[in-house]
Structure 1
Amino acid sequence: MAGSGHEVRKKWDPWNDPQEKPHVQLLSVSKRFGDFTAVDNIALDIYKGEFFSLLGPSGCGKTTLLRMLAGFEQPSQGQILLEGSDMAGVPPYRRPVNMMFQSYALFPHMSVESNIAFGLKQDKAPKGEIAQRVEEVLDLVQLSSFAKRKPHQLSGGQRQRVALARALVKKPKMLLLDEPLGALDKKLREQTQFELMNIQEQLGITFVIVTHDQEEAMTVSTRIAVMDHGRIVQVATPTEIYEYPNSRYVAGFIGDVNIIEGRVSEVGESHLNIVSEQSGCGIRARHAVDAPVGATVWIALRPEKLVISVDAPADTTTNCMAGEVWDIGYLGNLSIYHIKLDSGIMVTTAQTNRTRDVERPITWEDRVYLTWTPDAGIVLGQ
């Protein structure tokens, strides 16, 4: 099911359709707490049915932005529109939005079904409708057989699904999730990510998730907004963010990366030639920024794009860094190598362990060569 969902996601990009109207619009939104600016002049469009991630380190403003969408905080300036309606002054309980917190905040004395039904009872929904909707969401999150249990009788992953069911039972137009998987162990977190994706695709509800976990954002999102000091520095699909970051900050925040400094020596129609003392070789790159000869640029090289070998290639003058194996990490499916280049800087490369036996294993203190194709390096101007 997850696989078929991915196929749909690849072809679905309303943000590239000028005829599509955003589900949520943030227009020059700022939030200040005294002298501190938590959110700084953000403009953002989120489309109906997106699984949208706000990604960034602690203190970057992502949770404040989520709380403004929920109505728990009011913008100091700017507007938040939901389906074209200004949310200014609309309290959280009157918004067609629900929020799921990291702590889950389940009532310990209530059963699973009572926890889920609580909001509907507060709204004085008819008993028959409450029973039907609770049954539907219990089935959706695969907890029908746990309906009578109390929260302390559930695992962490099950409690997380109860909290999700409680948020979904009121059929919100948008669900806000604040670090929802932070309390789960790594394996359960990865499993739950795909469950969340499947549920979101089934319901077609707009999900907005706050996370500092880059892998989580890359897994679940249709698009990611990377934040830094209250500002959004790039909004793009996971593939675009990873393969075409717009700055060293984004390149460094998403995945592992080697950043090599250099200077443009030649500008061609489809390539740049770069000289770099750090790399110890000339660099040829296809993904060029608008940089004149003499400009300082940075080349971002993902570890998996580098090919490591103990044998020198035919051409060692271009896109070929040489150094010594300084450290090795064996991760089962991958081996990670830290290489100390002749210039003294350390770079990382990753090699897939395709076979159990390697004829000539690369080991500590080996002299090795790292090569890459011209389109593997991302040239950054900032």
Structure 2
Amino acid sequence: MSVASASRVPFEPWKDPQAKPYIRIVNVTKTFGDFVAVDNISLDIYQREFFSLLGPSGCGKTTLLRMLAGFERPTSGRIELDGVDMSAVPPYERPVNMMFQSYALFPHMTVEDNIAFGLRQDGVPKAERNKRVEEMLGLVQLSKFGKRKPHQLSGGQRQRVALARSLIKKPKMLLLDEPLGALDKKLREQTQFELMNIQEQVGITFVIVTHDQEEAMTVSSRIAVMNHGRIAQVATPTELYEFPNSRYVAEFIGDVNMFEGRLTEAQPDHVLIHSAEADAYIYVDRSTSAAPGATVWVAVRPEKIDVGLTPPDDPTYNCVTGKVWDIGYLGNLTIYHVRLANGKKVTAAVANRTRLRDRPITWDDQVYFTWMPDSAVVLVS
């Protein structure tokens, strides 16, 4: 089977009860004095996954990555790789490589020599070394740049040299610490897809640390969202975005409108919430664990909202009204910020299917925001 066709096969080993995790992080805690950087984390990662640790600065994601690399040792708990406890194994004895944000290339060496450095240190014969360097240059599309020095390359090219150097020793796991942070937006977006293609070709488990939600959503098979040293949720990008398990995750992944309310009706196939701050009843066509009377929050993504100048045929549910107080034109989207009568701000994102001059909505217009019953998520925390 070709690489192209193989990449179309669904890859979801975490749904298979018989699948054995490749990396097991079991009750791992890391403290620095009185500060708890990683707090009793347990996590399974499967072979060939492109797994992301996502969270804000200080959430513990880099500390966890450094423990996987062996640069830090857990205060308690253990880390297993392919069935072997790695907790006490030093970094240089682990079948793991790490790629840093700075790339850390040797400026006096050529691209070829940078890539071959690890093999030379291991005493790999020159013929074998040259062959593998040539293969790596082809993999990262730098075959014509082998004789250049790092300063003669663009940022994206240097990033690919660092990736080739990390992969040439065929590690069981590659760790990437904010690997695209130094690139501009357009190149970063392009490189994300290059990383995905390379990872599929080499079949190595990638674990990436990033604070960039869009980057994590693009490259990952699954994402662990971290907060204050703990894991808030582990799921696929789609599941995280469409079905967050808390307000923290909903607000961290993308943009969201959040309405606080009281659960007035709970049925197996729907719930009804009265939101005083939205001055509306909200109907959601899925169940919740909360009981009637409980305080809950309804999350609605901006792109799920329809914007109109006239009220809908049935404004009973899922309809709020207010005045447009700001508009952001992004080319493909227009962002409408609306202020409700009580001052709450709500956002809608509308695809620009027509020219800007054809858009009927402008500042200070009274508009109606509506959404479908399956477009919202009820959160209890």
TM range (shorter): over 0.9
| Paired residue secondary structure (1:190) | helix
Q: Distance in 2 between matches of 1:5 and 1:329?
A: 41
CA contact (8 A) 2:222 2:237 kept: yes
Question: 1:87-130 CA deviation, whole Å, 9 max, x = no partner?
Answer: 02211111111000000000000000001111111111111111
Deviation for aligned residue 1:314: 1.4
Residues 48-74 of structure 1 show CA distances to partners (whole Å, capped at 9, x for unaligned) of 000000000000000000000000000
**Residue 309 (structure 1) shift:** 0.4
Give the counterpart letter for 2:41 in structure 1: I
Label 1:185 to 1:150 Cα distance change in 2 as closer, same or farther (>3 A): same
CA contact (8 A) 2:267 2:287 kept: no
Give the SS at the match of 1:375.
Answer: helix
Aligned residue number for residue 150 of structure 1: 149
Q: What fraction of aligned residue pairs are identical, expressed as a percent?
A: 69
Q: Secondary structure at the match of 2:355?
A: coil
Shift of 1:287: 3.1
Give the Å deviation of 1:317: 2.3
**Deviating 4+ runs (over 2 angstroms):** 1-8, 357-360
Q: Which residue of 2 aligns with 1:250?
A: 249
Q: What displacement does 1:268 show?
A: 1.7
Q: Is the 8 A contact 1:2 1:197 kept in 2?
A: no
What RMSD, in angstroms, separates the aligned Cα atoms of the two structures? 1.4
Is the counterpart of residue 7 in structure 1 residue 25 in structure 2?
A: no
1:347 equivalenced with 2:346 (yes/no): yes
The Cα of 1:320 is off from its aligned counterpart by: 0.3
Q: Does residue 105 of the first structure (1) align with residue 104 of the second (2)?
A: yes
Distance 2:79 2:281 in 1: 49
8 Å CA contact 2:296–2:380 kept in 1: the answer is yes
Change (3 A) 1:193 1:2: farther
Matched residue, 1:283: 282
Q: Residue 99 of structure 1 aligns to which amino acid in structure 2?
A: M
CA change 1:337–1:5 in 2 (3 A) is farther
User: When the two structures are aligned, how many residues end up with a matched partner?
Assistant: 380
CA gap of 1:207–1:345, structure 2 versus 1, over 3 A, is same
1:357-372 equivalences under 5 Å are 359=358, 361-372=360-371
Displacement after TM superposition at 1:286 (Å)? 1.9
CA distance, structure 2, for counterparts of residue 131 and residue 221 of structure 1: 32
Q: Is the 8 A contact 1:329 1:337 kept in 2?
A: yes
What SS does the aligned partner of 2:36 have? strand
What 5-or-longer segments of structure 2 have no aligned partner?
none
Paired AA for residue 264 in structure 1:
L
Q: Is 1:203 paired with 2:202?
A: yes
SS in structure 1 at match of 2:169: coil
Q: In the alignment, what sits opposite 1:44?
A: 43
**Equivalent position amino acid for 2:219 in 1:** V
Aligned to 1:78: 77
Q: Match for 1:246: what amino acid?
A: N
Name the amino acid aligned to 1:7: R
Confirm or deny: 8 A CA contact 2:324 2:364 kept in the other structure: yes
- In structure 2, the CA distance between the partners of 1:237 and 1:5, relative to structure 1 (3 Å rule), is farther
Q: Residues 96 and 172 of structure 2 are in contact (CA less than 8 Å); yes or no, is this contact kept in structure 1?
A: yes
3-state SS of the aligned residue for 1:368?
A: strand
CA contact (8 A) 1:298 1:380 kept: yes
Partner of 2:131: 132
Unaligned runs of 5+ in 1: none
Q: Distance in 2 between matches of 1:80 and 1:167?
A: 21
The 5-angstrom pairing of residues 80-95 of structure 1 reads 80-95=79-94
In 1, Cα distance between the equivalents of 2:103 and 2:358? Answer: 51
| Local SS of the residue matching 1:183 | coil
- Is the alpha carbon distance of 1:269 and 1:261 closer, same or farther for their aligned partners in structure 2, counting shifts above 3 Å? same
CA displacement 1:115-158 (0-9 Å, x = unmatched):
11111111111111111111110000001100000000000000
Instruction: Tell whether the 8 Å contact from 1:287 to 1:377 is kept in structure 2 after alignment.
Output: no
Q: How far off is 1:199 after superposition?
A: 0.2
Q: Which moved more, 1:243-252 or 1:118-127?
A: 118-127
Which deviations, in whole Å up to 9, do the C-alpha atoms of 1:22-43 show, x marking residues without a partner?
Answer: 0100000010011001000000
Deviates more, 1:154-163 or 1:335-344: 335-344
Aligned-partner Cα distance in 2 for 1:183–1:68: 24
